[in-house]
């Protein structure tokens, strides 16, 4: 797991994003434990260059090939290899220069490099939930074959993972994923129809990338997380429950077969699950702010309003039916969120777009990996064609 000087070598895929930047903060605070071997970005060349000059990785990759020259020139004086393009991401993931990939690319784009890391037998700290939503069966099977541990970074799944430590012989009755409810908790369609991009981008508890922030506002994020949980923990669909917990202090819970419930708690700060995944099996000390039970606190729980936030219903359908349906849901959702962020469609249109795409695309019960890629492409094309009308 480590190089000659005993550090865990981390490849941060998506280093310029919200998760990537926080992972680098964790690494900076633990220089004797982690080293940065790979940094990747899509188009944020300035930040990638600054990160590279600070962390001196072995390799950087810029997805956008037009930016290759800028990055290469800026790092010319350094012993850092610079690559560009989508295939370079996969090639680097297949190299033997790191111990753990932090998979923090957003969306379907994260799937191929993550698959490569798994085939390479590397540990994966998985933030990119879309990887499991799209092709969870194949990803988990490959992880088993190649003995590649997948350690969740998503806070809910990290909570479940932490609650499972020491429970090797226990049977899970169900898991309870907590959801903050996002900025529009309690709102109804007559309000949501007028919601604009900037309002939807303001999340009450978490500061995240644009895509997941919109997914949180529509509750699609929780839908994706239900599917992610099914694969990560080998659950049946009806063992996954969602409850609204607006304070985001309980990050999720397991109810075991004896009725006992374990939860993992803490102030909402993604650095904690990131650090736990990177440090696993060690729990590392941190200076993150602590939750204080002596202060007046109220922790509340309620059922999600699935009539208003229909994305949860669509994701539940995909969770139960399986096959290529979660992949189709994810692709249509990526197109919908992209269009909403560009003010091309309204807030409620996002759900309609996903629903119509799920109805339109042919169902495949046991897709191969290439069929997943095809379903993704076809669902994107269909969803995009609805926007042009």
Given Mg ion, ligand NDP, none, residue 151, with its beta carbon under 5 to 8 Å by kind, binds none
d(CA 319, CA 302): 22
Could you tell me if 15 and 125 are in contact, meaning their C-beta atoms sit under 8 angstroms apart? no
Q: Within 10 A of 327 (CB to CB), how many other CB atoms are there?
A: 29
Helix axes of 45-55 and 18-29: crossing angle, nearest 10 degrees = 10
Q: Which stretch binds Mg ion (CB under 5 A): 40-48, 114-122, 155-163, 278-286?
A: 155-163
Q: How far is the CB of 307 from ligand NDP (least distance, A)?
A: 25
d(CA 337, CA 214): 7
Could you tell me if 365 and 321 are in contact, meaning their C-beta atoms sit under 8 angstroms apart? no
Handedness of CA 262, 142, 135, 268 (dihedral sign): positive
Considering the rule CB under 6 A, would residue 20 count as an interface residue with ligand NDP? yes
d(CA 133, CA 229): 9
Judged by beta carbon, residue 201 or residue 364, the one nearer ligand NDP is 201
d(CA 30, CA 28): 5
User: Cβ neighbours of residue 209 under 8 Å, at least 6 residues apart?
Assistant: 17, 18, 19, 106
User: Cβ neighbours of residue 223 under 8 Å, at least 6 residues apart?
Assistant: 311, 312, 314, 315, 316, 318, 319, 329
Considering the rule CB under 6 A, would residue 203 count as an interface residue with ligand NDP? no
Considering the rule CB under 6 A, would residue 223 count as an interface residue with ligand NDP? no
Instruction: Work out which of 7, 9, 10, 18 binds ligand NDP, going by CB under 6 A.
Output: 18
Supply 32's token pair.
């004797």
Instruction: Work out which of 17, 136, 152, 304 binds ligand NDP, going by CB under 6 A.
Output: 17
Instruction: Work out which of 29, 70, 205, 206 binds ligand NDP, going by CB under 6 A.
Output: 206
Considering the rule CB under 6 A, would residue 333 count as an interface residue with ligand NDP? no
Considering the rule CB under 6 A, would residue 88 count as an interface residue with ligand NDP? no
Instruction: Work out which of 37, 99, 130, 154 binds Mg ion, going by CB under 5 A.
Output: 154
Considering the rule CB under 6 A, would residue 49 count as an interface residue with ligand NDP? no
Judged by beta carbon, residue 58 or residue 158, the one nearer ligand NDP is 158
Considering the rule CB under 6 A, would residue 209 count as an interface residue with ligand NDP? yes
Considering the rule CB under 6 A, would residue 44 count as an interface residue with ligand NDP? yes
Considering the rule CB under 6 A, would residue 227 count as an interface residue with ligand NDP? no
Judged by beta carbon, residue 192 or residue 277, the one nearer ligand NDP is 277
Considering the rule CB under 6 A, would residue 334 count as an interface residue with ligand NDP? no
User: Cβ neighbours of residue 140 under 8 Å, at least 6 residues apart?
Assistant: 132, 150, 231, 232, 234
Supply 342's token pair.
């560009």
Judged by beta carbon, residue 60 or residue 148, the one nearer ligand NDP is 60
Residue with tokens 């490959």: 142
Q: Each residue of 49-85: b (16+ CB within 10 Å) or e?
A: bebbeebebbbbbbbbeebbebbbebbeeeebbbbbe
d(CA 20, CA 63): 15
Supply 1's token pair.
């797991």
d(CA 43, CA 64): 5
Could you tell me if 308 and 187 are in contact, meaning their C-beta atoms sit under 8 angstroms apart? yes
x/- site string to ligand NDP, residues 105 to 134, per CB under 6 A? xx--x-----------------xxxx----
Considering the rule CB under 6 A, would residue 42 count as an interface residue with ligand NDP? yes
Ranked by CB distance to ligand NDP, the top (closest) residue is 17
Could you tell me if 209 and 130 are in contact, meaning their C-beta atoms sit under 8 angstroms apart? no
Considering the rule CB under 6 A, would residue 160 count as an interface residue with ligand NDP? no
Q: How far is the CB of 215 from ligand NDP (least distance, A)?
A: 7
Q: Which stretch binds ligand NDP (CB under 6 A): 27-35, 102-110, 247-255, 347-355?
A: 102-110
Phi, psi of 234 (to 5 degrees): 60, 50
Considering the rule CB under 6 A, would residue 149 count as an interface residue with ligand NDP? no
Instruction: Work out which of 37, 154, 228, 378 binds ligand NDP, going by CB under 6 A.
Output: 154
Given ligand NDP, Mg ion, none, residue 18, with its beta carbon under 5 to 8 Å by kind, binds ligand NDP
Q: How far is the CB of 25 from Mg ion (least distance, A)?
A: 19
Question: Which residues in this chain contact Mg ion in the complex, by CB under 5 A?
Answer: 154-156
Question: Which residues in this chain contact ligand NDP in the complex, by CB under 6 A?
Answer: 14-20, 41-44, 63, 104-106, 109, 127-130, 154, 206, 208-212, 270
């Amino acid at each position: 797991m480590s190089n000659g000087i005993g550090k865990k070598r981390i490849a941060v895929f998506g280093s310029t994003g919200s998760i990537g930047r926080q992972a680098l903060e964790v690494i900076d605070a633990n220089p004797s434990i982690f080293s940065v071997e790979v940094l990747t970005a899509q188009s944020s060349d300035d930040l990638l260059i600054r990160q590279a000059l600070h962390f001196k990785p072995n390799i950087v990759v810029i997805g956008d090939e037009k930016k290759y020259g800028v990055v290469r020139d800026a790092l010319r004086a350094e012993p850092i290899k610079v690559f560009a393009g989508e295939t370079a991401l996969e090639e680097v993931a297949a190299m033997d220069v790191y111990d753990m990939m932090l998979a923090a690319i957003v969306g379907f784009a994260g799937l191929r490099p993550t698959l490569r890391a798994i085939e390479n037998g590397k540990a994966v700290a998985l933030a990119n939930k879309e990887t499991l939503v799209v092709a969870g069966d194949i990803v988990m099977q490959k992880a088993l074959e190649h003995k590649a541990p997948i350690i969740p970074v998503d806070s809910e799944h990290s909570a479940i993972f932490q609650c499972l430590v020491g429970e090797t012989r226990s049977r899970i009755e169900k898991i309870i994923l907590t959801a903050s409810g996002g900025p529009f908790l309690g709102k109804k369609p007559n309000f949501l129809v007028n919601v604009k991009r900037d309002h939807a981008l303001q999340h009450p508890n978490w500061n995240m990338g644009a895509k997941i922030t919109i997914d949180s506002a529509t509750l699609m994020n929780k839908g994706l997380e239900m599917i992610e949980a099914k694969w990560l923990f080998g659950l049946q669909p009806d063992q996954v429950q969602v409850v609204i917990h607006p304070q985001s202090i309980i990050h999720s819970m397991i109810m075991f077969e004896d009725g006992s419930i374990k939860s993992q708690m803490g102030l909402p700060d993604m650095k904690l699950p990131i650090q736990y995944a990177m440090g696993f099996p060690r729990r590392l000390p941190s200076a993150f702010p602590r939750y204080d039970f002596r202060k007046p606190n109220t922790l509340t729980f309620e059922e999600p309003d699935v009539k208003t936030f229909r994305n949860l219903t669509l994701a539940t359908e995909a969770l139960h039916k399986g096959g290529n349906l979660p992949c189709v849901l994810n692709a249509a959702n990526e197109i919908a969120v992209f269009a909403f962020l560009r003010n091309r469609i309204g807030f409620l249109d996002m759900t309609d777009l996903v629903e119509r795409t799920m109805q339109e695309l042919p169902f495949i019960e046991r897709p191969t990996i290439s069929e997943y890629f095809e379903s993704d492409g076809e669902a994107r094309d269909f969803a995009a064609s609805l926007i042009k009308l």
